[in-house]
Chain A
Amino acid sequence: MRYIRPLSIEDASGLLAGSTGTAAILAGGSDLLVRMKGGFVEPDLIVDIKAIEGLSEIRETSEGFSIGAAVPCAVLGESKALKKAWPGVVEAANLIGSKQVQGRCTIVGNLCNASPAADSVPALVAAGAKAVVVGPGGRRTIAVEAVPTGPGKTSLAKGEIIEAILLDKRPPRSGDAYLRFIPRTEMDIAVVSAGVNLTLDEQGVVRVARVAVGAAAPTVLLVDEAAEVLIGSKLDEATLERLAKVCSGACRPIDDKRGTVEFRRKVAGVLAKRAATTAYARAGGK
């Protein structure tokens, strides 16, 4: 096995593209080292991306935020500007693991690990976040929901690395929220989850909405029909009931030790309602 710490993203991409055996990208390592320890993966090459300039920074630009691929989730929680603009994304990222894991884990790692139950992903999908992908063919920007294709699988080609996650600048009267169900108070994997992102008009009517449900299908679901239910409403009780019904209906969950199909369907709707209510309040809606 080789361990290499390149200084540029192009070098990192070149190393991955030129590798013959199993290659792995190392940022926080909170998934990779666990899989190595368990014998699930034996990389021939580990490319540590933390020495690449800019990858450990959150940059605020005129268009919004660019979160580098090596930024630990704890740093997201310490960024007042990011927390103010995207509280739902930050609360989701800060739910991953313990203090110890927070100091290492990254949202790009969470995305590329491609677990259907990844906490930060529904919040990012609801936020309309984009991923900047660098590979042998150059740089491209894709929607976050286009990255995972199934449990443990992504659409990234050999040699491709996600350099950063982009979040838009917030229009006035916007808010987002993420909620998950776990059977304890923390340090657990989502049984089911929901992220909601809203922008209201001056009268408090929802004008833009995105709703995502996690741990209820092989990938996080962007539920367009749920967004349509919310748009034009002021989140009255009847709208929230319809939202819950649509989200429950969109689920294609599995039965496992953490929850049954029936339970996940039901709770997806409940969480979507509650997350929508929180997002609405954060957007200044009454």
Chain B
Amino acid sequence: MAGVAVSTTINGDNVEYLCQPDETLLDVLRDRLGLTGAKEGCGTGDCGACSIILDDRLVCSCLVLGAEAEGRRVETIEGMAHGDRLHPLQQKFLEHAALQCGICTPGFLMAAKDLLAKNPDPTEEEIRFGLAGNLCRCTGYDKIVRAVQDAANVMKGA
């Protein structure tokens, strides 16, 4: 099987890699590029743990082929903090204890970032609908919703 040569942008950096034609972008990120923030929960687009932003669209990286990233712009959880300075969403997830085991957290953060970019002042209902593609089996979601609301307030003031 011949590899596919891909040239793309990940978190602002130009990246080139070779992947198999049936390899998902999630596998490329994790196994070839060492970006293990995106998690494989289900591998079928149901849980959202592998959420990334591809050309300003929130997607499950398990439902994207690595080959499809050619010439596109990929944002992952690794690009969220600036050095030691956490993104307001990350800070508020910590303050509100909006995570327990942490497997779903990178996906929730990416989904919440996408949500706030499109709707900076969401209602609780909009947050719950907006994050319905991300499953969490620990928190019961309330703390996540409160963390996103609080982060939205901080980001509006910024």
Contact = CB atoms under 8 A, between A and B. Distances in A.
Interface of A: 1-3, 5, 26, 28-30, 33-34, 36-38, 43, 46, 48, 50, 72, 74, 97-101, 103-104, 186-187
23 contacts: A1-B1, A1-B20, A1-B22, A2-B2, A3-B21, A3-B22, A36-B22, A37-B44, A46-B21, A48-B65, A48-B67, A97-B45, A98-B45, A98-B133, A99-B114, A99-B115, A99-B132, A99-B133, A100-B60, A100-B111, A100-B133, A104-B63, A186-B129
A5 B58 CA distance: 22
Contacts of A97: 45, 133
Interface of B: 1-2, 4, 20-22, 24, 43-45, 48, 51, 54, 57-60, 62-65, 67-68, 70, 111, 114-115, 129-130, 132-134
A97 B133 CA distance: 8
B1 A99 contact: no
- Which 5 residue pairs across A and B have the least CB separation, nearest first? A98-B133, A3-B21, A103-B57, A100-B133, A100-B60
Contacts of A50: 68
A34 B24 CA distance: 11
Contact of B64 (A74, A99, A104): A104
Contacts of B133: 97-101, 187
Contact of B70 (A5, A26, A28, A103): A5
Contact of A46 (B58, B59, B60, B65): B65
B65 to A, nearest CB: 7
B63 A29 contact: yes
Contacts of A103: 54, 57-59
Contacts of A99: 58, 111, 114-115, 130, 132-133
B58 A100 contact: yes
A97 B42 CA distance: 15
Contacts of A34: 44-45, 63
A43 B111 CA distance: 31
Nearest to B52: A100
B38 to A, nearest CB: 12
Nearest to A101: B45
